[in-house]
Structure formats: C-alpha cells, structure tokens
Amino acid sequence: MELLKPEFGTLFWMTLSFLAVLFILRKFAWKPILSALRDREKSITNALSEAENARKEIRSLKETNEKIILQAKTERTVIIKDAKKTGDKIVNNAKKEAEKEARKLIEKTKQSIESEKNLAIKEIKQEIAKLSLEIAEKVLKKNLEQDEQQERYIDKLIDNIKLS
C-alpha cells in the first residue's frame, strides 16, 4: 500500500527529479528537438510546394504537347494535300506532254509514210513506163503480120514480166 500512498519525502524527491529532468531537457534538448521539427516541417512544406509546382508544370507541358501535336497533325494534313495536288499536276503535265509527243510522232510517221508511198508510186510509174517502152519496143521490132499474133505475143510478154 505504500505505493498508493507515497510519503512526503518520496513525493518531494520525485518532484525535484522531474523538475531537474524537465529543466535539463528544456535547456539542452527542447530547442534542438523543436528546431528539428520546424526544419522538418519546412522541408515537408517545401517538398509539397515543389510537388504542386511540378504538377502544374507537367499539366502545362501536357497542354503544350497537345497543342504541338494538334498543330503537327494540321500541318501534316496541309502538306499531304499540297503533295497530292502537286503530284496530280505533275501527272497531268506529263500526260499532256506525252500526248503532244505522241501527236508529233504520229504526224511525223504519217509524213514519212506519205513520202515513202509517193516515192514508191513514182518508182512504180517509172518501172511501168520502162516496161511499157520495152514491150512496145519488142512489139515494134518484131514485125508480125497478123493482129492475132501480135495480141498473143503481147499477152505472153505481160505474163513473163514480173513486177518488183
């Protein structure tokens, strides 16, 4: 029961020891502990502030990235349209040029064919004239007495002539 009812001397020394420990703690430990807590509180506050700033910066960067991506997509669309237009123009110009060249080539070929045809006709006429002269000469050289013999002879000569 003595513990439940302490004596005056025990209370006095307990109180004195408590005050001494309190004084020592207040003098040497309380200030460093409080300053450490304040420093810790400041560092936590700074860390939270920096984290909030980082979140804001990340949001800002995301918005900027989205704007840049949207702008890039728009530019890409414009570039693709321009490229298609340019490609179509090049194809159309190439077709027109090819058609012009084809017409020129056809016209040149027609002229060449026409000149060769005229040359061939001229040569054929000359050959026919030469052959006609040869036939006439042979007919005239041979003095035939009868018309019927002359006709047979002319037919025979015509059959023997080969046109080149």
Q: Is the dihedral of CA 21, 23, 28, 30 positive or negative?
A: positive
Cβ 144 vs Cβ 157: under 8 Å: no
Instruction: Quote the pLDDT of residue 141.
Output: 67
The share of the chain scoring above pLDDT 70, in percent, equals 90
- Rounded Cα–Cα distance for residues 12 and 18 (Å): 10
Check residue 163 and give left, alpha or beta (phi > 0: left; psi -120 to 50: alpha): beta
Instruction: Quote the pLDDT of residue 146.
Output: 64
Cβ 144 vs Cβ 150: under 8 Å: yes
Tens-place pLDDT, residues 105-157:
999 999 999 999 999 988 888 888 788 878 777 766 665 556 777 777 777 77
- Whether pLDDT at 164 is above 60: no
* pTM score: 0.41
Of the ranges 26-30, 59-63, 143-147, which is most confident? Answer: 59-63
